[in-house]
Amino acid sequence: MLLQKEREELVKYGKMIIQAGLTKGTGGNFSVYNREEGLMAITPSGIPYMIMKPEDIVIMDLKGNIVEGELVPSSEHAMHAMVYEKRSDVNAMVHMHSIFCTTLSALNESLPAVDYLVAFSGDKEVKCAKYATYGTVELAENALEALGNQNAVLLANHGLNAVAGNMMMAFAIAEQIEFCAEVYIRARSAGTPVILRDDEMTRMVKRFANYGQKKEC
Ligand SMILES: [Zn+2]
Neighbours of 85 (CB within 10 A): 13
Q: How far is the CA of 98 from the centre of ligand 1 (A)?
A: 10
What pLDDT does 108 receive?
98
Across the range 82-88, mean pLDDT stands at: 97
pLDDT tens for each residue of 35-59: 999 999 999 999 999 999 999 999 9
> What's the mean pLDDT in 132-145?
97
Question: Could you say which of 8, 36, 68, 76 is catalytic?
Answer: 76
Q: Write out pLDDT tens, residues 204-213.
A: 999 988 776 5
Report the C-alpha gap between 156 and 145 in whole angstroms. Answer: 13
Q: Is 138 a catalytic residue?
A: no
pLDDT above 70 (res 215): no
Residue 147 pLDDT: 98
pTM of this structure: 0.94
156-178 residue pLDDT tens: 999 999 999 999 999 999 999 99
Q: Angle, to 10 degrees, between the axis of helix 4-19 and the axis of helix 167-190?
A: 20
Displacement of CA 193 from its chain's centroid (Å): 25
Q: Report the pLDDT value the prediction gives residue 212, as an integer from 0 to 100.
A: 61
| φ/ψ (deg, to 5) at 114 | -80, -15
pLDDT (tens digit, 9 = 90+) per residue, 100-138? 999 999 999 999 999 999 999 999 999 999 999 999 999
Rounded Cα–Cα distance for residues 83 and 11 (Å): 21
| DSSP assignments along 127-187, one per residue | -EEPP--TTSHHHHHHHHHHHTTSSEEEETTTEEEEEESSHHHHHHHHHHHHHHHHHHHHH
17 sits in which H/E element: helix 4-19
What is the distance in A from the centroid of ligand 1 to the CA of 43?
12
- The answer to whether the beta carbons of residues 205 and 122 sit under 8 Å apart is yes
Q: How far apart are CA 211 and CA 58, in angstroms?
A: 31
Q: What is the 197 CA–ligand 1 centroid distance (Å)?
A: 32
Q: What is the mean pLDDT of the chain?
A: 95
CA of 110 to the centre of ligand 1 (A): 18
Ligand 1 midpoint to CA 120 (Å): 21
